[in-house]
Amino acid sequence: MTETKDSRRPMRADARRNYDLLVHAARDAFRDTEADTSLEQIAKRAGVGIGTLYRHFPTRLALLEAVYRDEVDDLGDRSAAMLDSTEPFDALVGWLEMFLSYAATKRALFHELIEVAGRDSELLTHSRAVIEESGGRALRRAQEAGQARADVTVGDLTRLVGGCTMMPGASEEQQQRMLEVIVAGIRV
């Protein structure tokens, strides 16, 4: 059995595989269809039965939370790994790119979670903490190296990058160009 960060309890290897298949299928489905995909469609996409889905996720909210938590924890983990091996400003740019991708795919999930769980839910509190810690660490390193403006905060960056994802009909290329403008504005 393996310990999982998601369930906080040991899980057999086959159960872990099914859990991961369901989370990945749900993540892809929510990206493709703005989060209105049925649980039956997600189970089918994962290649498992609906009973398997409900054993792992008794409610739609439980599945949404698992996808959201998985994504934010992945952002935090990838950020930490990058910060340990990348020059300060390059690491900040890398974090901004990761956050842009993360934020762009979370719009529909975020709104559904707010409606069901509320803005102060444990999940969203955890997500804000991961984002602020990982982004703050990247920004501080670049500021301490004299490569990023000292008056910029991680809150400034998350709002600016989040704004890039809110433009109706914006392509990934346009979002990337806007990110380049943000990067140019914070570079010293």
Other Cβ atoms closer than 10 A to 176: 13
Share of the chain above pLDDT 70, in %: 92
What is the CATH T-level fold of the domain 59-188, as seen in this structure?
Answer: Tetracycline Repressor; domain 2 (1.10.357)
User: Please, which pLDDT band fits residue 32 given cuts at 50, 70 and 90?
Assistant: low
Give the Å distances, CA to CA, from 162 to 17, 81, 87.
Answer: 32, 23, 24
Domain ranges, ordered by start, for the chain: 1-58, 59-188
pLDDT tens-place string over residues 6-18? 445 678 999 999 9
- The structure's pTM equals 0.83
Share of the chain above pLDDT 90, in %: 65
Question: What does the pLDDT read at residue 75?
Answer: 96
User: Of 3.40.30.10, 3.40.50.2300, 1.10.10.60, 3.40.50.720, which CATH number belongs to 1-58?
Assistant: 1.10.10.60
Question: What does the pLDDT read at residue 5?
Answer: 47
What's the per-residue H, E or C state across the chain?
A: CEECCCCCCEECHHHHHHHHHHHHHHHHHHHHHCCCCCHHHHHHHHCCCHHHHHHHCCCHHHHHHHHHHHHHHHHHHHHHHHHCCCCHHHHHHHHHHHHHHHHHHHHHHHHHHHHHHCCCCHHHHHHHHHHHHHHHHHHHHHHHCCCECCCCCHHHHHHHHHHHHCCCCCCHHHHHHHHHHHHHHHEC
